[in-house]
Amino acid sequence: MTDPGGPDNGLESYVPSAPEASAGTTRAPWRKAGIALGVVVALVAGLFGLAALTSDGGEDSPESAVQKLVDALVNEDVLGALEALVPAERAVLRGRTVELGDQLRRLGIVDERLDLAHVAGADLTVEGLELGSERLSDDIAAVRATKGSIRLRVSGEELPIGPLLKDLVADPGSISSPPPADLSGGEVVLVAVRRDGDWFVSLGYTAAELARRDSGAEVPKFGHGVVPKGASSPEDAVRQVAAAAAAFDVRRVIELTPPGEADALHDYAPLFLPAADRAVAEMRDQGVQAEVPTLELESGPNKEGETRVTIKRLTVKVTSGQEPFVFDYDGRCVKIDGLLEDGLPPMCRDAESEDQPFSEAAFSYFDLTTVERGGSWFVSPTGSLLDAMLDTLRALEREKLAEVVKKQPYSLFYLLYPTPFLYGSAMFTGGGSFESGEETVSAPARPMGLEAPATSVPVTATIEAPHRQTAVTSRVPAS
Amino acid sequence: MAAAGFLPWSRTGRSRSGLELARTLHEVGLSGDREARILLAVFLFTPFLAATVWVAALARRRLLVAALGAVTGAVAVAAGVLLRTTSLRTAPGVDAAVAAGILALAGAGFLVFRVKHEKGVR
């Protein structure tokens, strides 16, 4: 049209002035080259954008995935650490991790200096790290450190300890750095899994694999474990979990956990299901029966866009030939009959007292988080637990918490180490107890018939507080 | 404009460029609500948009340059402001991107004004 230096390419839209036109004679080849270069750059940039949109951030080998996580931890890079995790696990942790930090800051458990991008007063260094991997299957590898050392330097006075904890920690300056640890023994194992061709670190597989190694069981046949089978709605998923629990059907409970998040549980379940089935058979022989005559539910979205199912009414009746044990929740109060001869006083969500200072917060555990996968609904164990913890923290007021903790320092540990965690850890450690002054909460050893690790030893962490002495005891494997 | 995306935008343990940060936030699913997710997804295409501005400029399509420049500038400004509202530690690249975005918007406005003015003169 107007380009005197070449044929019309259809891009021109205005008539240049005479000097421009004559200059165009010499500029045209450069302009064409510039346009061609621009098109190439645009194509490359477009491909970069598309690749970034479709990438999950995985690595090309198990060792690289673990190295990425280690680098992120050393750099105190929360985003990098999340990026190194398998997408299904990071989906559960991401938003909740950020909110946990916000809530701990709001309540004064940590101070304003807590920054997920930099933990003041703690400096982790890893030197000379060399990694080796052992394939457990085509898509699962156990990565172990074969060389290197790790050191954590702690400066107690710089740690972001909030005003609430400052009373409990007599002298932050006395917190000392642990000695450097040699990693060359190969005892530090992290499991990496391959998803869509990329490798990620999996916390679930790591926990399951460590438990397997500790028990001495054979490597399971990956991909041939429990097949997840969801329900038709969030409420239905919770109803089916309740029905399966009442029938002591451990396999069905596991089936109702979501693929992705609970892949490790599904794969490793065949290692403990036979023992669980034997334990259930023994219970049945002893005449133990359970039923859930009442279960009323309500559902709504949570902050993560998942569905939170709230238990509005629940009655659980367990009989074993003697007087039945009845747990009854009417939406306001929990009443337990048959556990103690004298019975237990009811605990009500709106009746806080000195003995039950956080009764409202404790009721967060009546909610379960459900997720939709492939058109079916599943109960998310990690999401349920973390949401309950967050609900508990959200329900607390800073001033009231400070007042209660001043009188009863141990109450903080009840909140941060709730009973479900105690039972959860007991499953892997063979039993545990939480002792505080005259009170003791015990988790049964070997629930579901699991054998306790033969080499386990009790470890007691004692926290010296100005008002009370609190001890947390748990059995952990000697290794 | 394109260079601003490659400057450091955040220090979350380590320094990340704007594009790297947008990619990481998108990957880990921390890009926030629907609008923020769309914004960060579009931000990943700012080098592409900048290159198309370059091609349009060489092809002397001034209105196209103005339109693409305005979109690129608006995305950069919005992404910078969005980052500022989060708890992430931001780095100078955010300010550079916001400044470049405002310049791009102003430049686009000026170009449109000039084209319309020239048409009016004719």
pLDDT over threshold 70, residue A286 = yes
Of residues A45, A48, A79, nearest to B28 (C-beta):
A79
Comparing A414 with A223, which gets the higher pLDDT?
Answer: A223
pLDDT over threshold 80, residue A44 = yes
pLDDT over threshold 70, residue A354 = no
Residue of B25, B52, B55 to mutate when probing chain A, most A C-beta within 10 A: B55
Could A56 and B27 be called an inter-chain contact, meaning their C-beta atoms sit closer than 8 Å?
yes
Q: Which residues does A272 contact at the CB level (< 8 Å), separation at least 6?
A: A448, A450
Could B14 and A77 be called an inter-chain contact, meaning their C-beta atoms sit closer than 8 Å?
yes
pLDDT over threshold 50, residue A78 = yes
The C-alpha of B116 sits at a distance from chain A's nearest C-alpha, in angstroms, of 13
pLDDT band (50, 70, 90) for residue A342: low
Residues of A in contact with B87 (CB under 8 A): 98, 102, 116
Radius of gyration of chain B (CA): 16
Q: Assess A41–B contact: CB distance below 8 Å, yes or no.
A: yes
Residue of A2, A20, A41 to mutate when probing chain B, most B C-beta within 10 A: A41
pLDDT band (50, 70, 90) for residue A110: confident
Task: Name the token pair of A417.
Answer: 């180490």
Could B12 and A79 be called an inter-chain contact, meaning their C-beta atoms sit closer than 8 Å?
yes
Could B45 and A117 be called an inter-chain contact, meaning their C-beta atoms sit closer than 8 Å?
no
pLDDT band (50, 70, 90) for residue B6: confident
Residues of B in contact with A35 (CB under 8 A): 55, 58-59
The whole-model pTM stands at 0.73
Give A133-165 pLDDT, tens digit per residue. Answer: 999 999 999 999 888 888 888 777 777 777 777
pLDDT over threshold 90, residue A285 = no
Could B59 and A57 be called an inter-chain contact, meaning their C-beta atoms sit closer than 8 Å?
no
pLDDT band (50, 70, 90) for residue A268: very high
